[in-house]
Amino acid sequence: MSAVIADLTFQVAPSAPAVADRYRLTSGGHWGVRRVLIVDDSAAQLAVLARLIERWGYDVIKAGSGDEALEKAKHWAPDLVLSDWIMPGMDGIALCRKFREIFSAHFSYFILLSSRSEKSEIARGLDAGADDYLSKPVHAQELRARIHAADRIVRMQRELSTKNEVISHTLDDLQCAYSAIDRDLQHARRIQASLVPERCCDFGAVRVSLLLQPCGHVGGDLVGAFPVGQGRIALYGIDVSGHGIASSMVAARIAGYLGDNRPARGGAGDSAEAECMIRSPKSVAQELNDRLTADPGVEEYFTMLYAVLDPDTGRVQMVQAGHPNPLLIRRDGSVHFVGGGGLPIGLIDHVSHDMIELQLEQGDRLLIYSDGFVEAETKTKSALGEDGLVDLIRAMPNARGGPEYLDDLYDGLMRAMPDGACLSDDVSAVLLEYQGQP
């Protein structure tokens, strides 16, 4: 026995029983190696190893064969297995393979003990799933150092497993939360789409078509058209600052302002005569600006192009509040940008906007669009710009009109963008087609 286990009884540290407490403190209350399973067909070697390791503060269980070791491991879940290589029946390598197969969910450190020193044999043991190899005769200091190394690895492995489990549960929770948010956003998208119930509005001699493409589930763009009395038609394009939910909620609020025509006409408390009075685009912009700047709960602002058309005369009055310059497309194919910018709505108190007037002729078109068009990145890594927008329009079949015209314009924009690129901003447009009297 002394030839196999050298110096075991002479190298036990006086403070060995305190090792377990020290490991409990240094591991923050989480154990690394605490339970050691010793497997050896020699009862004498089992007794010596067990006595030594117990004096170092570890819990020890003994097994005289591989089968007995597997059976005890089912009930005991060892942190470290110290197994002799050469044993009758199931040897150490076979035990290691079987142990790894059965207890794959519970990481344990496995050390093989053998007098074999050939590198090929050591490699065969490590390939079988062993974590370490210790030559006989075993020296106490080396064994203790190997157990300390095993403790560090077991602790790190289990901490990693715990963190992975936490991450897995967190990801599951996040997936559930994302699914709920996605369902809500899909519903919000349908609600926002209901703000533009019809893509084409026919007002006799005037046809107004609408395009609204959020870059996400919901967006801050808004387009619309409605009659305002005395045969007049109002149309608008709005782009709320920012993106996403907050912008879409502000856009919905603005839709409420415009939906009941209160900014466009007199309020509900006004006289019947006032109800029929058409508010000028300049007054509408001023009222919207006053409402938004007076609301402490709204930090967003928005750009707007608001226009009123008289179909009998083709006369257009409009206000441009920071929105891109609208494009006047004459019947002969010539294009002209009109407007001069202006300050957005809700940015500064008491802002006054200039009125812009246009005269439409039969066959003319007026295109109102958001900056999602002109600021879109193209394949050349530059913004599309006004010139690029004109190029898209000139490349389109002129015979198509209405919503199809806007669809062609949008398709042209997507082709101009890099392959696989997504919109970085909401895209919206209003197309007014005038077929009044020449």
For 11-32, write each residue's pLDDT tens digit: 333 343 343 344 343 344 446 8
Residue whose entry in the numeric block shows the structure tokens 């109800």: 275
CB 326 within 8 A of CB 368: yes
Q: Where are the alpha helices (DSSP H) in 210-263?
A: 244-259
Segment 264-308, tens digit of pLDDT: 544 434 444 444 447 889 999 999 998 888 887 778 899 999 999
For 133-141, what is the mean pLDDT?
Answer: 87
What does the alpha-carbon distance between residue 14 and residue 18 come to, in Å, rounded to a whole number? 9
Pairing of strands 132-135, 109-114: parallel
C-alpha torsion sign, points 164, 170, 172, 178: negative
> The tokens of 210 are what?
């609408």
What does the alpha-carbon distance between residue 393 and residue 213 come to, in Å, rounded to a whole number? 18
Segment 230-243, tens digit of pLDDT: 889 999 999 998 77
Most confident option among 122-126, 130-134, 182-186, 293-297:
130-134
- Sorted by where each begins, the domain ranges of the chain are 8-165, 196-434
What does the alpha-carbon distance between residue 50 and residue 36 come to, in Å, rounded to a whole number? 9
User: Which top CATH class is 8-165?
Assistant: alpha beta
Question: Shortest CA distance to 16 belongs to which of 53, 51, 48, 55?
Answer: 55
Residue 325 backbone class (left: φ over 0; alpha: ψ -120 to 50; beta: rest): beta
**Cα distance from N-terminal residue to C-terminal residue, the chain:** 118
The SS3 call for residue 337 is: strand
pLDDT at position 272, please? 40
Domains 8-165 and 196-434 are alike in CATH topology? no
pLDDT at position 5, please? 46
pLDDT at position 24, please? 40
Distance of CA 411 to the CA centre of its chain: 26
- CATH architecture, range 196-434: 4-Layer Sandwich (3.60)
Asked whether the predicted pLDDT for residue 217 surpasses 50, the reply is yes
